[in-house]
Amino acid sequence: MTKVKDIVSKFEELAPKWIAEDGDPVGLQLGDLNQEVHKMMVTLDVRPETVQEAIDHNVDFIFAHHPAMFRPVQPLDLSIPQNKMYAEIIKHGITVYGAHTNLDNANGGMNDWLAEVFDLQNTEPLLPTREEEHSYTGSKNEMVEMVQKKIEVFFPERIKKQVLFAMHENHPQEDFIYDLYQVEGLGQKFGMGRVGELPKSMTVKEFAEKCNEVFDIPGTRVISKDINKTVKRIAILGGSGARFYTNALQKRADLYLTGDISYHVGHDILASGLNAVDAGHYIEYICKPHLTKLFSKWNQNEKWNIDIYQSEINTNPYQFI
């Protein structure tokens, strides 16, 4: 039987928890990593309505982009809808996992999916990158009369536990010594957001209208001194990225697409000369079909034999009138 930890382990090859932003509560939210999975649901948000959707569809594992809990709950007052939701999750034996900024930072993750919507070319991370560590290991040269072999391997930090386990399981000696060294410059680089070039230039107004079309939203908030100005180099950061507009300036972007730009930050962006489009936080819902596709592929390759359901509920809290 496939367990939650089997699915999580495979996902964390793409988006390991260590690439998440500091303090972001990624990973297990509620439940048991050893729980058997028969049906999982992919969702953007864990809200009372999505939990009820999971219950109605006999889901035992919820995989969400936004964590169910950003901070500890105290007291657990069940008269509060969000707290009652936690009780329903536990009552129905559902495990919840949240992949937030680790998915945002991952190569081939959230921000690459957003960049693909606009077919951005020559993309690079918007924020400073971080690099995974590589380790070096060698076996001990025992002072005995026997043939010794020294094995040196390079491997990424994310699989260190698996490598060490394999060594202990297969080494002919019960006790042996090995060395681990960090090697810089070889690891995969991860970074938040993307900056790239549009296939062809368009005006700020045309770009905003494109956002309305591709994200199926009724309107966007535009910050620009001239909405007819031509733009080509675009910076994108899904979620609440208002404070990172200076990074878009440093990357020489013509326009910055993100969500949750506040009034005063909007004034600062306008004064800087940068164009910006606030399409809302909900544009990250595009993760649902992408994650469903990934998990469906792994389901087949890893022979998990589970059902995968994509949440159909719109969790955008805003309405446009």
Instruction: Give the right CATH number for 110-128+192-279 from 2.102.10.10, 1.10.8.60, 3.40.605.10, 3.40.1390.30.
Output: 3.40.1390.30
How far lies 246's CA from each of 116, 235, 274, in Å?
Answer: 23, 11, 9
Q: Which residue has the tokens 């219950």?
A: 55
Given a contact cutoff of 8 angstroms between Cβ atoms, the answer to whether 283 and 114 are in contact is: yes
Per-residue pLDDT of the chain (321 residues; tens, 9 = 90+): 999 999 999 999 999 999 999 999 999 999 999 999 999 999 999 999 999 999 999 999 999 999 999 888 888 899 999 999 999 999 999 999 999 999 999 999 999 999 999 999 999 999 988 776 655 444 445 554 545 566 777 677 667 777 777 777 777 666 667 776 665 555 678 999 999 999 999 999 999 999 999 999 999 999 999 999 999 999 999 999 999 999 999 999 999 999 999 999 999 999 999 999 999 999 999 999 999 999 999 999 999 999 999 999 999 999 988
Dihedral, CA of residue 225, residue 115, residue 61 and residue 299, to nearest 10: 170
Single pTM value for the model = 0.84
Give the separation between CA 26 and CA 106, rounded to whole angstroms: 13
Give the separation between CA 199 and CA 197, rounded to whole angstroms: 6
DSSP 8-state secondary structure symbol assigned to residue 174: S
CATH number of 4-100+285-310: 3.40.1390.30
Give the separation between CA 75 and CA 78, rounded to whole angstroms: 9
How far lies 203's CA from each of 144, 166, 206, in Å?
Answer: 75, 56, 5
Phi/psi for 199 (5° steps) reads -55, -35
Q: Which of 65, 70, 63 is nearest to 25 (CA)?
A: 70
List where CATH 3.40.1390.30 sits in the chain.
Answer: 4-100+285-310, 110-128+192-279
Dihedral sign for Cα 120, 124, 126, 130, please: positive
